Structure 1
Amino acid sequence: MATLRFNAIKKTFDRKPVEINEVERRSELFGRNVFSKRAMRQYLTSDSYKSVINAIDKGDKIERQLADHISTGMKEWATSKGATHYTHWFQPLTGSTAEKHDAFFETVDDNSAIEKFSGQQLVQQEPDASSLPNGGIRNTFEARGYTAWDPTSPAFIWGTTLCIPTIFIAYTAEALDYKTPLLKSITALDKAATDVVRYFDKKVNKVTATLGWEQEYFLIDSALAASRPDLMISGRTLLGHSPAKGQQLHDHYFGSIPSRALNYMRDLEHECLLLGIPVKTRHNEVAPNQFELAPIFEEVNLAVDHNSLLMHVMEKVAERHNFVVLFHEKPFKGINGSGKHNNWSLATDTGSNLLSPGKTPTKNLSFLTFFVNTIKAVYENEEILRATIASASNDHRLGAGEAPPAIISVFIGSQLTKVLDELEKVTDGKLSPQEKTDLKLNVVGKIPEILLDNTDRNRTSPFAFTGNKFELRAVGSTANCADPMTVLNSIVAKQLIEFKQEVDGLISSKKMKKDDAIFNVLRDYIKKSSKIRFEGDGYGKAWEEEAESRGLSNYRNTPEALKSKISKKAIDLFTQLEIMNETEIKARFDIEIEDYSKHIQIEGRLIGDIARNHVIPTVIKYQNVLIKNVKGLKEIYGKDFKDQAKEQMNIIEAISKHIAHINKNIDQMIDARKKANHIEDPVKRAHLYCDEVKPFFEDIRYHCDKLELLVDDELWPLTKYRELLFTK
């Protein structure tokens, strides 16, 4: 292993940089490999084109007879760009993407063949629904499942394959993917938000949730990464002592991008633009060899698809540049991990951002309505929202002094806090003319100042208002954005439905004017949801105590957090909005709780293997060298050798103690793992892995890392942090 380590380092330094030439304008590259509206107008008949556009804009069903025309046009476009195969591209509950490639090929007789792609092949296919995670919905002998075309997300070409975004459902119609519930939540939010926004603008016919994600990641030389079995299998380093220099000098963040990383980024951006992913921002992140990429905001379903596609493209492009991309939330101990901030907002078909403060009382009343309802939705459902960001890998990041705490709170800034505080003082019942004037001109009229961004940001807040959007900062870098976005869409939709019912009730029962009724309901919501608002330091112990006194949840690990996914509140939320049924909800919980146990199990096996089969044998070799040295000193100095060999003897003794601790902890960890494996209840098994297996990781690591500082560098088998993080 030591030889492998040094060969990896030599290979890294011997590499020549991959130079990337950017000739074409980015605007000319954008969407070239996407079956966009422009491509559809060229390759589809007028009726086919209108059918797809109506499906995208209005949710209309595409007739089967038109599907054949659409598939023919799509095939002609794809083959003109060199595509030889097609696939239904979907997002199963593994957290990654899935695809099965079929050729545009059918035989006609013994001597001839044709290229064919039918409407049936476009609209629907039948992958195995039992081998992918299904939470017990499908048995091994019941394998039938379906993928169905999602026309709202355009087909694209990757390599020589036409990729068609689809949903994935069981034969019994339950959703087995992330996209299906997301699409249903989008529909529910559209209807609820449109009904409310028509209080202010009768011209609005559609409200769209938008998403702008920020993808953080590490770039590690592929040869160096390959010499670390923990990094290659678990995505993080289970062992490794912190280097002398980490991120303490703050010299990497927003610094000059290293040339090799920049070449990778340029190549990646080229591929992204061809695929219609509107990447815009790139920069160094806080930790060494950590970077970030962010796009322009898009409709939430398309944005989720693009993020899932991006992660795949990032890995493929990295191979060209001899990099490995690390998406794990905490690949290195002692330095910042990676997140994926989800910036969410609401846009109307008339071009308005409903979370952007306006310059008139009416627009500000509209802004306040959606702003306050979102806060109320988060307050009422903070446990469910917390559950969407829970995972074995994100547990390492949340509350670690680098990311938001596990306690869900909302940050809105001092100016908006003042606005809500003043609005809360409004009296019950109808507004007096004076109150109405004061409220509209003096309170609501102040909100446009927020556009100047003169309210500070709070990076310790998991859910922060940042000018014209809410930023869910706690999403992990490995996560599929669909899960948190489905929940956020759903809770806001439910809240807006309740809001409209209350407002309409006041208008009809108490004969209030519309504005009076809206203000009264908003004032009540501000009071009820005030406990979720927090402007201070989320990292401190004081906030934990205060949050507890406010009645906010503080789930410190995934098994604790996930239980909220099958609470009565969660089941009622999704079933009432017809986003998921109870079977689908419980299946997803079963998948995630089992996934947690498997991740901890894999890491337990890994750390035991590396410690016993790599670290300890190396350490014993070095200990034998020291023992031989002591014997030599004894021959030279005779009875006085102890004074001369004192330091060597101390190291020998320290090594023996560390080895003993490592072996003892590994034995106990294996026993705990066996105990957990014999538990049939998946929830109890997950808690055992969390509480009784995982704690041994830190003990084993502590002693291995101490040995790293004692053993000769030329013998140490694992590539060290200083090499992984500072090799350009």
Structure 2
Amino acid sequence: MNQEFNTLKAAKTWHLDSFTEYAPSDVIGQIFAQDVLTLEELRQRLSRPVFKSLQGTLERGQTLDPAIADTVALAMKTWAMEKGATHYTHWFQPLTGSTAEKHDSFLTPTSDGSAIATFSGKELIQAEPDASSFPSGGLRATFEARGYTAWDPSSPAFIMRHSNGATLCIPTAFASWTGEALDLKTPLLRSIEALNIAVMPALKLMGADASRVSSSLGAEQEYFLIAEEYYYARPDLVMTGRTLFGAPPPRGQELEDHYFGAIPDRVLSFMADAETQMYALGIPVKTRHNEVAPGQFEIAPIYENSNVAADHQQLIMQILRNTARKYGLVALLHEKPFAGVNGSGKHCNWSMGTDTGMNLLEPGDTPHENMQFMFFCAAVIKAVDEHQDLLRVSVASAQNDHRLGANEAPPAIISIFLGDELTDILDRLASGQGGRGASAGVMGLGSSVLPHLPRHAGDRNRTSPFAFTGNKFEFRAAGSSQSISLPITVLNIIVADAVEQMTAQLRERLNGSRSKRSLDEAIAGLVKDVYAQHQRIIFNGDGYSDAWHQEAEARGLLNLRTTLDAIEIFTSEKNVSLFERFNVLSKRELEARQEVMYDIYFKTVNIEGETTEYMAQTLILPAAVSYLAELGEIESGSRAVKGVTQKVSDLADELYDALADLHTQNSATGGEEVHEKAHHMRDHVLPAMLKVRVAADGLEKVVAGKHWPLPSYRQMLFVK
């Protein structure tokens, strides 16, 4: 079918079956968290002793008292049924990177032939899904199927609605029968506790008023929208999430007019619908806008405790995908769905905060005098320098390899951008000058009608993978489709490690002194030494430049260009020791995750290779042959006909030869072990796929449109 005829259909034939209209006051006063079992809701439904016991678990990390489980379960069931729920599920995050759920009804038959709704404390605390088909990296054999989900009371239960009902979702951890973590949430919760244990002694030394510390997170989500009409006409998008073929359109993102431009009405309606659903689930989404690539958009929430933020991130992706379909669109969350235009990331804005509301990375108006801030900022610098490898591993995937290092995303080299003011303060401290150099000031805009604006003391750097952005660090290397649980787990424990070391050093420097002056002098000296030791990780320049790659190598920084380069060092002695020392992952659990990462990489590229071969063999090559046959029927001495015929013939032959090579590489495995298969995919299948694509994209530029079997970039990116 000629795809040109579908353009008008893609633009006009979508329709909205139903929607709910809310007034702004409703969104603020009634909708937000209406489908969340909040602490206040529990307070109203539980007796005071039961609530106090549960509150101790939620707010102070105390062990959950099993004796209250039945009471909490009854309150939860009653609330859920009032919301229209008929089923419940233990909602968990296996090592696939997505979420999993098995629904059970509240309905229980009775002996008299009727039925009642029941939900016990035992059913709340623990469930037993089949663990055999989830990736385990060797922790479980296929015939060993038993696994357990365990209620995570620190993340609130919520209602997920569908077109014909609702389900109570209970966030849980997922472990094997042997007690080993088979999910992403368990190590995240462990890392939060590790951070708390490491940071609290430092705060006590500094006299801070706090009893608990946790990490906070706000994760920006980038994504593409394309017309549903085109998505299902592209086997590559359906099978792999990205286009394996596609010639560059005459116009891409070079005009940069899409960025922050007016949001199309159809897209804005979709966004408003998705945001309303997110509000009901208590997800504090704040920002929406057009991103730089045509058809690309972004949504961003404000900060929450990192374990809740990780749950909410999974829900954001699910809601974006589900809601887009109502508007005749498909949301693409792949890191690089289109070659030649910007890919999509997930910027993780990370900080640490106390139960008293103190942000430990808030510099204040005089950061050079804020020794507490300087201590924790130096700890992050030390952590990132010493554990560059783990940060790179935490964002490693076959999908992200297409994005990292391109002129759109941070390079694979991990470095820190501090900005002018903070860098100047640390440089002065290191040189013994002290004080504050660069300051913010006020910026005039040259017109009396415009206000004078307070200027930040440092600019931003969009090429840095890890940037200080005012009162937090932004880890910008995470991919748009991945779970943020692993990156945040890594951030939590590497900072815990650095803080623990620096606290011990600070205690030695204080030598029993408790005076404010001694404390400030000891911290200043410690920060000076830490900065001197780890200054190589600071880079405020252009991370895209070739010169930076050369300089980074001279500094001794790692450049783990591909996912497999990163995965290989995941289980180094240093990393195993770190994870075990903080009781986040055992050596066996860490090795299992490494095995799963190899396996997912292999399968991802293998599916792409097979899909490339199928599409080129059955769609693209026949289109070229068909066009050649049509040209051959033209009796003409025209140089144009001869020239086009020759060009199509040459490219078709090139495609045919490339396909033969790809078929050979797809048929091979590279070895018996999964890491051998993964390396075969990277070293042989991906290059063979690229050769096929080059020939196919060349054909797209010369084969008549009526013969071309796939929607083009021009259509997919610009038709909304």
TM-score bucket (shorter structure): over 0.9
Q: RMSD of the TM alignment (CA)? A: 2.0
Which segment drifts farther, 444-453 or 621-630?
444-453
Where does residue 691 of structure 1 map in the other structure? 683
Conserved 8 A contact 2:392-2:412: yes
2:215 matches 1:213: no
What pairs with 1:252-651 in structure 2 (closer than 5 Å)? 252-359=258-365, 364-426=370-432, 439=434, 442-443=435-436, 452-508=455-511, 513-630=518-635, 633=636, 644-651=637-644
Q: Distance in 1 between matches of 2:87 and 2:63?
A: 26
Deviation string, structure 1 residues 275-324 (Cα, Å, up to 9, x no partner): 00011100000011110000111111100100011111111111211211
Alpha-carbon spacing, 1:320–1:588, altered in 2? closer, same or farther (3 Å) = same
Q: CA deviation at 1:359?
A: 4.3
Which segment drifts farther, 680-689 or 222-231?
680-689
What percentage of aligned pairs have identical amino acids? 44
Q: CA deviation at 1:235?
A: 0.4
Where does residue 431 of structure 1 map in the other structure? none
2:676 matches 1:670: no
Where does residue 9 of structure 2 map in the other structure? 10
Q: Distance in 2 between matches of 1:246 and 1:56?
A: 49
2:146 matches 1:154: no
Which segment drifts farther, 512-521 or 548-557?
512-521
Q: Distance in 1 between matches of 2:714 and 2:551?
A: 40
Q: Distance in 2 between matches of 1:511 and 1:92?
A: 47
User: What amino acid is the match of 1:673?
Assistant: N
Q: CA deviation at 1:20?
A: 6.1
Conserved 8 A contact 2:34-2:282: yes
Q: CA deviation at 1:420?
A: 0.6
Alpha-carbon spacing, 1:554–1:11, altered in 2? closer, same or farther (3 Å) = closer
Alpha-carbon spacing, 1:626–1:328, altered in 2? closer, same or farther (3 Å) = same
Alpha-carbon spacing, 1:361–1:444, altered in 2? closer, same or farther (3 Å) = farther
Q: Distance in 2 between matches of 1:531 and 1:678?
A: 39
Q: Distance in 1 between matches of 2:228 and 2:659?
A: 29
Deviation string, structure 1 residues 598-648 (Cα, Å, up to 9, x no partner): 111100001111011001111111111110013xx3xxxxxxxxxx33221
Conserved 8 A contact 1:17-1:260: no
Count residues with an aligned counterpart.
701
Q: CA deviation at 1:650?
A: 2.0
Conserved 8 A contact 1:357-1:363: no
Corresponding residue SS for 1:183: helix
Where does residue 163 of structure 1 map in the other structure? 169
User: What amino acid is the match of 2:644?
Assistant: I
2:34 matches 1:22: no
Q: CA deviation at 1:688?
A: 1.8
Q: CA deviation at 1:216?
A: 0.2
Corresponding residue SS for 1:694: helix
Where does residue 657 of structure 1 map in the other structure? 650
Where does residue 59 of structure 1 map in the other structure? 61
Corresponding residue SS for 1:352: coil
Deviation string, structure 1 residues 307-358 (Cα, Å, up to 9, x no partner): 0111111111112112111000110111111000000011122222111113
Q: CA deviation at 1:101?
A: 0.2
Conserved 8 A contact 2:217-2:351: yes
Alpha-carbon spacing, 1:708–1:111, altered in 2? closer, same or farther (3 Å) = same
Q: Distance in 2 between matches of 1:136 and 1:689?
A: 21
Q: Distance in 2 between matches of 1:207 and 1:650?
A: 71
Conserved 8 A contact 2:662-2:685: yes
Corresponding residue SS for 1:330: coil
Q: Distance in 2 between matches of 1:678 and 1:110?
A: 63
Conserved 8 A contact 1:358-1:448: no
Alpha-carbon spacing, 1:598–1:623, altered in 2? closer, same or farther (3 Å) = same
Conserved 8 A contact 2:151-2:170: yes
Conserved 8 A contact 1:204-1:350: yes
Conserved 8 A contact 2:367-2:373: no
Corresponding residue SS for 1:566: coil
Conserved 8 A contact 1:20-1:266: no
Q: Distance in 1 between matches of 2:40 and 2:367?
A: 40
User: What amino acid is the match of 2:645?
Assistant: I
Conserved 8 A contact 2:216-2:352: yes
Conserved 8 A contact 2:440-2:455: no
User: What amino acid is the match of 2:472?
Assistant: K
Conserved 8 A contact 2:289-2:298: yes
Deviation string, structure 1 residues 489-536 (Cα, Å, up to 9, x no partner): 000001100001111122339999333322222111000110000011
Conserved 8 A contact 2:206-2:519: no
Conserved 8 A contact 1:358-1:447: no
User: What amino acid is the match of 2:701?
Assistant: L
Corresponding residue SS for 1:87: strand
**Hey, which of these two has a bigger chunk of helix by percent?**
1
Conserved 8 A contact 1:200-1:363: no
Alpha-carbon spacing, 1:110–1:451, altered in 2? closer, same or farther (3 Å) = farther
Q: Distance in 2 between matches of 1:686 and 1:86?
A: 38
1:702 to 694, 701, 707: 694
Q: Distance in 2 between matches of 1:507 and 1:339?
A: 43
Q: Distance in 2 between matches of 1:581 and 1:15?
A: 51
Corresponding residue SS for 1:99: coil
User: What amino acid is the match of 1:372?
Assistant: A
Q: Distance in 2 between matches of 1:94 and 1:237?
A: 22
Alpha-carbon spacing, 1:198–1:713, altered in 2? closer, same or farther (3 Å) = same
2:92 to 72, 90, 113: 90
Alpha-carbon spacing, 1:451–1:39, altered in 2? closer, same or farther (3 Å) = farther
Alpha-carbon spacing, 1:33–1:457, altered in 2? closer, same or farther (3 Å) = same
Q: CA deviation at 1:705?
A: 1.0
Where does residue 239 of structure 1 map in the other structure? 245
Conserved 8 A contact 1:210-1:344: yes
Conserved 8 A contact 2:440-2:458: no
Q: Distance in 2 between matches of 1:191 and 1:553?
A: 30
Q: CA deviation at 1:193?
A: 1.4
Q: CA deviation at 1:24?
A: 5.0
Deviation string, structure 1 residues 78-105 (Cα, Å, up to 9, x no partner): 0001000000000000010000000001
Alpha-carbon spacing, 1:509–1:111, altered in 2? closer, same or farther (3 Å) = closer
* TM-score, normalization by structure 1: 0.93
Corresponding residue SS for 1:57: helix
Conserved 8 A contact 2:417-2:539: yes
Q: Distance in 1 between matches of 2:540 and 2:368?
A: 28
Gaps of 5+ in 2: 443-452
User: What amino acid is the match of 2:287?
Assistant: T
Where does residue 719 of structure 1 map in the other structure? 711
Corresponding residue SS for 1:355: coil
Conserved 8 A contact 2:412-2:559: yes
Which segment drifts farther, 662-671 or 476-485?
662-671
User: What amino acid is the match of 1:492?
Assistant: V
